[in-house]
C-alpha cells in the first residue's frame, strides 16, 4: 500500500494549528507574515498562503488587509478532524481519562472488524476532556500483539489515570510500520444512560458516533476506535475531487 506523503503546506498548517491551540497567538497577537514564515520554514510564499487558506477555512484565523493574520477568538471547544495528524494532535490541548483500563477480552464483533483469526482483543474505554469538560467517550480495540505491547503502560492500565497521550500515537510507534490511513463512518445516535453520564448529558441527547479502523503502511489493521462525540465539539472536513475523465 503506498504511503501518503504530507504536503509542505499541510505540515505548516499543522504546526500553526498546534501553536494557536496552545494559545501562542491569543489576545490579539499577530501571526508571522507570509514572508516571515517562508523564511523560517524554508518554503515558498505560495505554500504559506495555502496553509493560511486551510486555517481560515477551519475558522482558526482571520486575515485583515493591511494588518495581518490573527487567531480567531474561540468559543465552545471545537475539534476539526481531517487527517491522521489532527487525531494525533489531540494531545496538544486535551487529556485522556481512563474509564475502563486496557484488558484482554473476547469480543467477536471487534475481532471480526480487525480481521483477526481469533476472538481475543485488548480493549480500553476512556473519555477526552478539554479544561475538565468531557466531549468524547471512546472504546479502543487492539489486536493481541499490539495490546500486549501497551499492557505495561500506566496511562492505559490504571482506572482514573489522566494523561495527554493518544492511543493512535502509542500504536504508531509500536507496530514496526507507521499508521498511514483510517477508514471511518459517522452516524447520529441517541445517548444511552452510561454514555450520557460520562459525557454529562441527558439520555436521548443526539450524539455523533464515529467508527474508525486504522491501517499501517503495510496494510495491517491495528486499531478499531468507536467514539461518541457531543456534536457541538466535533467538526469533520474532507476534500472532494472530481474524477478524471
Residue 24 domain-assigned? yes
Same domain, 132 and 199: yes
Residues 169 and 114 in one domain: yes
Tell me the C-alpha distance between 102 and 104, whole Å: 7
> Per residue in 192-234, pLDDT tens?
999 999 999 999 999 999 999 999 988 899 999 999 998 877 7
Give yes or no: residues 192 and 101 share one domain. yes
pLDDT of residue 2: 44
Do residues 157 and 196 share a domain? yes
- 52 Ramachandran zone, left/alpha/beta (phi>0; psi -120 to 50): alpha
Is the pLDDT score of 78 beyond 60?
Answer: no
| Whole-prediction pTM | 0.68
Q: What is the mean pLDDT of the chain?
A: 86
67 and 84 co-located in one domain: no
Percentage of the chain beyond pLDDT 90 is 52
Domain end, chosen from 48, 71, 94, is at: 71
Q: Which of 25, 41, 71 is the last residue of a domain?
A: 71
241 in a structural domain: no
Co-location of 102 and 84 in the same domain: yes
**Does 95 lie in the same domain as 24?**
no
- Judged on CB neighbours under 10 Å (0-12, 13-18, 19+), 181 is middle
Do 13 and 86 fall into the same domain?
A: no
* Domains identified in the chain, total number: 2
Residue carrying C-alpha cell 441527547:
205
Asked whether residue 130 is assigned to any structural domain, the reply reads: yes
Residues 123 and 227 in one domain: yes
Assigned domain for 245 exists:
no
CATH value at residue 23: 1.10.10.10
Task: Tell whether 57 and 33 lie within a shared domain.
Answer: yes
Looking up cell 499577530 gives 30
Residue 110 is part of which domain span? Answer: 79-236
* 84 band by pLDDT with thresholds 50, 70 and 90: low
Amino acid at each position: 500500500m503506498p504511503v501518503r506523503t504530507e504536503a509542505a503546506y499541510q505540515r505548516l498548517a499543522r504546526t500553526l494549528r498546534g501553536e494557536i491551540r496552545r494559545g501562542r497567538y491569543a489576545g490579539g497577537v499577530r501571526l508571522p507574515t507570509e514572508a516571515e514564515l517562508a523564511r523560517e520554514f524554508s518554503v515558498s510564499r505560495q505554500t504559506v498562503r495555502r496553509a493560511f487558506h486551510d486555517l481560515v477555512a477551519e475558522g482558526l484565523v482571520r486575515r485583515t488587509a493591511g494588518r495581518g493574520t490573527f487567531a480567531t477568538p474561540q468559543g465552545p471547544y471545537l475539534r476539526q478532524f481531517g487527517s491522521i495528524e489532527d487525531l494525533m494532535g489531540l494531545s496538544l490541548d486535551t487529556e485522556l481519562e481512563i474509564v475502563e483500563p486496557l484488558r484482554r477480552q473476547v469480543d467477536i464483533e471487534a475481532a471480526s472488524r480487525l480481521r483477526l483469526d481469533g476472538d481475543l482483543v485488548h480493549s480500553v474505554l476512556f473519555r477526552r476532556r478539554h479544561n475538565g469538560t468531557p466531549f468524547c467517550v471512546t472504546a479502543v480495540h487492539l489486536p493481541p500483539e499490539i495490546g500486549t505491547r501497551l499492557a505495561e503502560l500506566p496511562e492505559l492500565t490504571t482506572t482514573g489515570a489522566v494523561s495527554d497521550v493518544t492511543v493512535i500515537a502509542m500504536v504508531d510507534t509500536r507496530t514496526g510500520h507507521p499508521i498511514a490511513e483510517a477508514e471511518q463512518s459517522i452516524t447520529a445516535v441517541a445517548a444511552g444512560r452510561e454514555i450520557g453520564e460520562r459525557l454529562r448529558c441527558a439520555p436521548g441527547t443526539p450524539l455523533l458516533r464515529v467508527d474508525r479502523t486504522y491501517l499501517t503502511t503495510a496494510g495491517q489493521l491495528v486499531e478499531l476506535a468507536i467514539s461518541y462525540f457531543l456534536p457541538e465539539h466535533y467538526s469533520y472536513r474532507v476534500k472532494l475531487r472530481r474524477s478524471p475523465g
